[in-house]
Amino acid sequence: MAEQFFDVAVVGGGPAGATCATLLAKKGHHVLLVEKEKFPRYHIGESTVPGVLPVFEELGIADEMKKHAFVKKRGITLVWGQGREPWDVDFADAGPLTGPYDHAYQVVRSEFDSILLANARHCGVTVLEDTTVVDFLFEDERCCGLKYTRSGKASTVRARFVVDASGQNTLLARRYNLLEWDEGLKNVAIWAYYQGGKTLPGRNAGNILVENMYDSWLWVIPLHDGTHSVGLVMPAENAGGKQALEQQFEETLENSVETKKLLVAAQRVSNYRTARDWSYKSQRFYGPGFLLTGDAAGFVDPLFSTGVFLALRGGSLASAAIDRLLKTPEREAEVLKRYEESYRDFFDVVISFVHYFYDASKEKEAYWHRAQELIDPIEQMTSRQDFIRLISGQAGIVDVMRLDTTEKVNL
């Protein structure tokens, strides 16, 4: 078989990889995407934030998302802080700087991720599923392609640039021993699906419920298939084995207040699933001939449902950087440096705020003021608006995660 050549080879067909590949193809580049699984496939991470909506528009799937049956998420309902009464965050209250983005979606990831991957194909990306990347090609220390196996056959592909969007497999970060673990956010999650549960009343019906349980927290996410995703996040050091973790989950549900109300008539209809929820980031987000995006660059605790946002926005940011460096190769180092700075700046803001928020002993206004300190120190907005902007991903869009903030880079 003749050696293949592409402008860009993307490893991973999740939200980050599909977004990056699609946007590069729409800009006229010849793009290969290699995905180890066959879609549709299961994935956790069902709650999104309004910061994804502009990327849907970029991708050309905004109308499809509106027509799909996904539950519209207008905000978050929290049982957190000194008071034990629930308090609501409505995305529509974020203020004038955020534009028209007043909602998000609760998605079944097998359906959502398939929409993204199908759109990549539609836009001209060559998509290979059931395909495993076994190595990266390097020449003079520059990444220049991939080796992969498909249906038992080995193949080699060369590319002008390579994107690692391999999710928590973090292929290139592990190759270079770049992963840094956040010692304060080493958690474990256990979850299951329930049928027959209630939703919150009125406009909050599509909200995610997040209930603090002092040394852990619960989520409840309503899904359009009639189930609720219900999960528990707790420090890994407090978790026992699988059987003990399941018992802890059931006991925590029983001791909850708001979660228990929503599940009073519900029945568990799935097995338990568990995952290590350790936050991390790579020491570097790029190297000669490659960059990392999505979970391959870093993973943030799921408290504010920022995972899909970071994947989509990171993929969009990566596509803009790669488009520029392919057109002006002499500026590659400059462009990649700006990509990393922009991505890392927002990532670090989110991590910092998650650490602060995990102290559930504060009044809710303290969380609002901390958000303002991080994203709006000159107080253009109210502290509550800044809190909403930060947790909805909209501060990242207008303030931080962009490549065109300096005349020098001019992206």
Average pLDDT in the 65-93 region? 96
Which pLDDT score is estimated for 322? 97
Burial of 172-185, coded b for 16+ CB within 10 Å and e otherwise, reads: bbeeeebeeebeeb
Over 80: is that where the pLDDT of 402 sits?
no
Over 60: is that where the pLDDT of 237 sits?
yes
Q: What phi-psi label fits residue 12: left (phi over 0), alpha (psi between -120 and 50 degrees) or beta?
A: left
User: Is cis: bond before 40, omega within 30 of 0?
Assistant: yes
Confidence tier at 96 by pLDDT (50, 70, 90): confident
Give the tens place of pLDDT for each residue, 240-254: 888 899 999 999 999
Domain assignments of the chain as residue spans, ordered by start: 4-179+279-400
DSSP 398: I
Alpha-carbon distances, residue 27 vs 49, 88, 123, 388 (angstroms): 26, 41, 10, 33
- Mention every residue, 6+ apart, whose C-beta is less than 8 A from residue 333: none
Four-residue CA torsion sign, 233, 236, 238, 240: positive
Alpha-carbon distances, residue 60 vs 2, 10, 40, 99, 234 (angstroms): 34, 20, 20, 19, 38
Name residue, tokens 């399941």.
246
Over 60: is that where the pLDDT of 1 sits?
no
DSSP 102: -
Which pLDDT score is estimated for 409? 36
Over 90: is that where the pLDDT of 99 sits?
no
Name residue, tokens 């018992």.
247
Give the tens place of pLDDT for each residue, 147-205: 999 999 999 999 999 999 999 999 999 999 999 999 999 999 999 999 999 999 999 99
Residue closest to 146 by CA, chosen among 28, 38, 3, 352: 3
Which pLDDT score is estimated for 403? 60
Q: CA angle, corner 16, sides to 44 and 384, nearest 5?
A: 75
Cβ contact 335:161 at 8 Å = no
Q: What is the DSSP string of 294-306?
A: GGGTEE--GGG--
Percent of the chain with pLDDT over 70: 95
H-state helical runs in 129-241: 171-175
Which pLDDT score is estimated for 411? 34
Q: CA angle, corner 15, sides to 10 and 17, nearest 5?
A: 5
Which pLDDT score is estimated for 3? 76
Q: Which CATH class is domain 4-179+279-400?
A: alpha beta
Alpha-carbon distances, residue 353 vs 366, 367, 370, 375, 389 (angstroms): 11, 8, 7, 10, 13
Four-residue CA torsion sign, 377, 411, 64, 168: negative
Residue closest to 106 by CA, chosen among 212, 263, 226: 226
End-to-end CA distance of the chain: 38
Over 90: is that where the pLDDT of 397 sits?
no
Q: Which two tokens stand for residue 48?
A: 């999104």
Residue closest to 91 by CA, chosen among 385, 322, 342, 399: 385
